[in-house]
Structure 1
């Protein structure tokens, strides 16, 4: 064997048990007590947890937005992912009018083949059907391993929004192909109405970013998206859920047997809209914004009861000087925050402090994302799976500072966050990429994950 991890507590979505894991050729080849045999490298994980690598299925790396480009390149973002125990990232390339799905995807692959420090996949954002050509091309995209597509119900002025008819066509086409549509749900007309009012009144601080996109503005679009998906009997995945009312609509649809999946993000679990009243409130501006305490409590309850399926980050950081563009006008603040390196440590800290189980964290951050998005070789520690492995020390205390992160941004909303327990090693297909605080992998190690259509939970 190439690698033998001994005496750790293996955590799956269903159970935990002490065993050894043997790795050869990038795959898990053995799990059991007291494994023996010729081994190149032995790691003693006594007293530590051994987890499947996380899948962050929502990142925006090197993404043009708000007059700039998100601060993390593909190299920096995947390096940070590795150092937080994320072994596969999903990026969101955006197709614009006249562009093809595979053309956009292949242009990103050309960069990632040299820069990726962890494995990677794509959801393609569809903004224009190109007279129906995109509906035809979706079949070729699915055959190429792109089995999920995103629709924005917002960003009308940026020419990224789809109307209800386009959403319906995409839902039906995805259903036909065994693919799934991801939806960013907010109502752009209400947002524009609120923004016009606040600017006219001279209300320009970051607090009005939240007030322009309050709970009910997100909830309306959540409910509309779920309405179309359930009546068309098509699967749907709601990204970055942040509000109680929209969440409740998803839960009701789930209870009725509809294929509705819900993602939330660590920032909505940790922060409320009160951050926008802070002096540095502009640094927390993202869309949808953090909401009130009632919504936050509803998200945590849905995590505990199983009605939220995944936790991902919407990682889209910008530099502080770019955030400062909106110091006197919240509409000029580039929308997005950091998170890819904080996802797994944050959720595992919640387990380590008794808020939920370690098995549930694995389910939310690894197993469910892999199943929903067709990553058959990811998401669990089992024989035949990729050896994407995280070793976690429950006793290691860690405080987040921008200086000990591994991205290219100059600030983080997680500054000063204290965590009890932290990853000490990350392996991608058996390759050590993170070791006790240091990135030890190499750009270009990551591989494209070709996904399968229609894997049911």
Structure 2
């Protein structure tokens, strides 16, 4: 055997138990108490948790947006990922008029083959059907393992929005192919109307980013997506859910038997819209924005009760000088915050403090993501799965700072957040890539995850 992790507590979505984990050929070869095997490397995990690597289903690395490009390259973003226990990221390349799905994805793949420090998959954002060619090409993309596609119901002026007719065509086509449509749901007309109103009134601070797209503006679009998907009998995945009313519509649809998946993000679980009143409020600008306490409470309740399927980050950081472009005009602030290195530690800290169970964290950060998106070899400590393993010390205290993160940004919304418990090692397919604060992997170690479809 290549590796034996001895004496830890293995955590799965359904339970926890003391066991050794043996790894060979990059796969989990055996799990059991006092395994009678010899290994090239033996790691003592006594008193620690042995977890599957997390899958961050929502990242935007090197993404052009708001007149700049997000601060993390594919190298720095995936390096940060493994240092936080995320062993697979899903990136969102954005297709524009005239571009093909596979042409776009393959151009990203070339960079990732060279730079990726963790494994990677793609959801391609569809912004234009190119006269119907994209609907045809989706079949080939699915065969290549790209089994999910994203629609924006916002960013009309930026040329990224799809209308309800296009959304419907994509939902129906995805159902035919056993694929899935992910949707960013907010109402663009309401956002434009309210933005124009606040600017006219000279209300330009970061607070008005929230006020231009408050709860009901997101909720209307959430409800519209659920309405179409339920009546068309198509599955749908709502990304970065942040509001109570929209969440309740998703829960009702689930209870009626419809396949509606809900993702939320750590920033909505930790912060409320009050951050936009802070002097550095512009650093927290993302879309959808953080909402009020009522929405935050609803998200935690749904997370505990099983109605939220995944927690992902929407990782899309920008440098502070770029955020400063909007200090006198909230519309000029590039939208996005850091999170990929904070996802698993934040959620595990919530489990360590008794807010939710460790099993539930594994479920929403790893197992469900792998199941929903067809990552058959990922998401669990189980024989035959990839040996993507995180060793977690429940007693290690850690304070997040830009200084101890592994990204290329110069500030983080998580600055000063104290966590009780922290990952001490990350293994990617059995190879050590993170060790007690240090990245010890190599760029190019990451592999493309070819996903299965329903």
TM over 0.5: yes
Once the 2 structures are TM-superposed, how far is the Cα of residue 35 of structure 1 from its aligned partner?
1.2
Helix, strand or coil: the match of 2:39?
coil
Q: Does 1:149 align with 2:149?
A: yes
Residue deviations 1:6-34 (CA, integer Å, cap 9, x gap): 00000000000000000001000000111
Structure 1 Cα separation of the partners of residues 270 and 197 of structure 2? 30
Structure 1 Cα separation of the partners of residues 125 and 309 of structure 2? 21
Aligned pairs for 1:295-374 within 5 A: 295-374=295-374
Aligned pairs for 1:89-128 within 5 A: 89-128=89-128
Once the 2 structures are TM-superposed, how far is the Cα of residue 37 of structure 1 from its aligned partner?
2.5
Helix, strand or coil: the match of 1:94?
coil
Aligned pairs for 1:155-304 within 5 A: 155-304=155-304
Q: Does 1:15 align with 2:15?
A: yes
CA-based RMSD of the aligned residues comes to 0.3
Structure 1 Cα separation of the partners of residues 230 and 102 of structure 2? 29
Aligned length: 454
Structure 2 Cα separation of the partners of residues 216 and 356 of structure 1? 28
Residue deviations 1:68-90 (CA, integer Å, cap 9, x gap): 00000000000000000000000
Aligned to 2:33: 33
Structure 1 Cα separation of the partners of residues 37 and 342 of structure 2? 36
Structure 2 Cα separation of the partners of residues 282 and 414 of structure 1? 14
Residue deviations 1:266-313 (CA, integer Å, cap 9, x gap): 000000000000000000000000000000000000000000000000
Structure 2 Cα separation of the partners of residues 306 and 447 of structure 1? 31
Q: Does 1:81 align with 2:81?
A: yes
Residue deviations 1:143-173 (CA, integer Å, cap 9, x gap): 0000000000000000000000000000000
Helix, strand or coil: the match of 2:345?
helix
> Where does structure 1 lack aligned partners over 5 or more consecutive residues?
none
Structure 1 Cα separation of the partners of residues 444 and 230 of structure 2? 41
Structure 1 Cα separation of the partners of residues 287 and 43 of structure 2? 42
Helix, strand or coil: the match of 2:34?
coil
Helix, strand or coil: the match of 2:350?
helix
Structure 1 Cα separation of the partners of residues 94 and 107 of structure 2? 11
Structure 2 Cα separation of the partners of residues 39 and 372 of structure 1? 34
Structure 2 Cα separation of the partners of residues 234 and 285 of structure 1? 32
Helix, strand or coil: the match of 1:427?
strand
Structure 2 Cα separation of the partners of residues 390 and 286 of structure 1? 29
Residue deviations 1:36-56 (CA, integer Å, cap 9, x gap): 223100000000000000000
Structure 2 Cα separation of the partners of residues 110 and 375 of structure 1? 21
Once the 2 structures are TM-superposed, how far is the Cα of residue 334 of structure 1 from its aligned partner?
0.1
Structure 2 Cα separation of the partners of residues 430 and 29 of structure 1? 11
Structure 2 Cα separation of the partners of residues 143 and 444 of structure 1? 24
Helix, strand or coil: the match of 2:291?
coil
Structure 1 Cα separation of the partners of residues 342 and 146 of structure 2? 26
Structure 1 Cα separation of the partners of residues 382 and 226 of structure 2? 34
Aligned to 2:416: 416
Structure 2 Cα separation of the partners of residues 141 and 109 of structure 1? 14
Aligned to 1:375: 375
Structure 1 Cα separation of the partners of residues 387 and 159 of structure 2? 41
Helix, strand or coil: the match of 2:89?
strand
Structure 2 Cα separation of the partners of residues 198 and 126 of structure 1? 31
Aligned to 1:435: 435
Structure 1 Cα separation of the partners of residues 438 and 385 of structure 2? 26
Residue deviations 1:102-123 (CA, integer Å, cap 9, x gap): 0000000000000000000000
Once the 2 structures are TM-superposed, how far is the Cα of residue 180 of structure 1 from its aligned partner?
0.3
Aligned to 2:390: 390
Give the structure-2-normalised TM-score: 1.00
Structure 2 Cα separation of the partners of residues 231 and 76 of structure 1? 42
Helix, strand or coil: the match of 1:151?
strand
Residue deviations 1:333-385 (CA, integer Å, cap 9, x gap): 00000000000000000000000100000000000000000000000000000
Residue deviations 1:165-213 (CA, integer Å, cap 9, x gap): 0000000000000000000000000000001000000000000000000
Residue deviations 1:380-429 (CA, integer Å, cap 9, x gap): 00000000000000000000000000000000000000000000000000
Helix, strand or coil: the match of 1:382?
coil
Runs of 4+ in structure 1 deviating by more than 2 angstroms, as ranges, are none
